[in-house]
């Protein structure tokens, strides 16, 4: 299998080497033709130095660097943009997912181009679990789409699908939301597959930080307004193209 695995990384000096080496071992064990694309999203710890050493040790490890932290969604997007393989997977680098659990998703690629994971039991605090449920409800109330565990950090899809699903506006909590919305609007379906979720190996999670939480409401309304504006623009272009076609047909009829 030709596969690119994306690992977004922000201040993961205690986890990133373990994650990368586990992915390389998985490639070897499954005989995959794989590459790892680690996106260093402006890390201020020793992550960049660790990644440089790993990339020098193994050419399958590629590094994409953001000089400043741009958010989880932008990091994943940069990694997917840089991926070159037939299949693309993104898996969080904090150790809460095991790379071999992609084996649970891969068989479903026979029937679906996009196969996301769904955490069977979240190994997070009560607050983070509650936050995830509130997030799902907020997405449903805003967009009318119910997606269980929208932000599960393990997904796999065909590279050909990426231009269709590639988010333009979501940067943090709603990157995955926009991804699902674009797939839905394009008529694609998916199959969520249960995957285990493990306690964080080390470090401090940043997904529930005050910066992310307080920016959530602004981001969802920004996303909603931008998607609506995009739809209006598309409708305007479609109308103009329709008028042009009608004018051309009318001219041909007149000439005849």
For residue 128, the model assigns a pLDDT of 59
Residue 243 inside a domain? The answer is no
Decide: 40 and 63 in contact? Cβ < 8 Å.
yes
Residue 245 inside a domain? The answer is no
130-136 LR contacts (CB < 8 Å, sep 24+): 131/208, 131/213, 135/173, 135/216
pTM of the model: 0.80
Neighbour count for residue 141 (Cβ, 10 Å) = 9
Specify the number of domains making up the chain. Answer: 1
Q: Hey, which residues does 39 pair with through a beta bridge? A: 8, 64
Q: Is the dihedral of CA 34, 155, 12, 166 positive or negative?
A: positive
Integer Cα distance of 17 and 244 in angstroms: 57
For residue 242, the model assigns a pLDDT of 47
Q: Identify the CATH number of the domain in which residue 231 sits.
A: 3.90.550.10
Decide: 162 and 202 in contact? Cβ < 8 Å.
no
Residue 208 inside a domain? The answer is yes
Query: Domain of 155?
Result: 2-236
Residue 246 inside a domain? The answer is no
Place of tokens 């199959």: 191
For residue 88, the model assigns a pLDDT of 98
pLDDT digits (tens, 9 = 90+) for 22-32: 999 999 999 99
pLDDT digits (tens, 9 = 90+) for 211-227: 555 566 667 777 777 87
**How many whole angstroms from its chain centre is CA 37?**
13
Residue 250 inside a domain? The answer is no
Residue 242 inside a domain? The answer is no
> pLDDT tens digits, the chain, 256 residues: what are they?
999 999 999 999 999 999 999 999 999 999 999 999 999 999 999 999 999 999 999 999 999 999 999 999 999 999 999 999 999 999 999 999 999 999 999 999 999 999 999 988 765 555 555 566 666 677 767 777 778 888 899 999 999 999 999 998 877 678 898 999 999 989 999 999 999 999 877 766 655 555 555 566 667 777 777 877 887 777 665 555 545 544 554 444 443 3
Locate 255 and state its tokens: 């000439």
Integer Cα distance of 241 and 225 in angstroms: 24
Length, in residues, of the chain: 256
3-state secondary structure at position 248: helix
Residue 106 inside a domain? The answer is yes
Residue 74 inside a domain? The answer is yes
Stated as kind and residue range, the H or E segment containing 187 is none
Integer Cα distance of 174 and 164 in angstroms: 17
């Amino acid at each position: 299998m030709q596969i690119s695995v994306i690992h977004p990384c922000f201040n993961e000096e205690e986890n990133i080497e373990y994650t990368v080496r586990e992915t390389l071992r998985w490639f070897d064990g499954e005989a995959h033709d794989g590459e790892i694309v680690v996106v260093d999203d402006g890390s201020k710890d020793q992550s960049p130095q660790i990644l440089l050493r790993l990339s020098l040790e193994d050419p399958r490890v590629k590094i994409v660097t953001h000089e400043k932290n741009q958010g989880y969604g932008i990091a994943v997007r940069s990694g997917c943009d840089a991926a070159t393989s037939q299949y693309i997977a993104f898996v969080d680098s904090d150790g809460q997912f095991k790379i071999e659990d992609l084996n649970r998703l891969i068989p479903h690629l026979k029937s679906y181009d996009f196969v996301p994971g769904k955490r069977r039991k979240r190994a997070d605090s009560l607050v983070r679990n509650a936050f995830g449920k509130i997030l799902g409800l907020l997405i449903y109330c805003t967009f009318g789409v119910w997606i269980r565990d929208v932000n599960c950090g393990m997904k796999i899809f065909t590279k050909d699908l990426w231009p269709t699903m590639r988010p333009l506006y979501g940067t943090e909590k709603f990157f995955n939301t926009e991804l699902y919305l674009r797939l839905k609007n394009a008529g694609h379906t998916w199959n969520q597959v249960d995957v285990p979720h493990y306690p964080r190996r080390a470090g401090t999670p940043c997904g529930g930080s005050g910066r992310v939480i307080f920016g959530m409401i602004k981001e969802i309304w920004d996303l909603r307004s931008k998607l609506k504006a995009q739809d209006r623009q598309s409708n305007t272009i479609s109308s103009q193209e329709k008028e042009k076609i009608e004018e051309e047909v009318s001219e041909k009829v007149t000439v005849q």
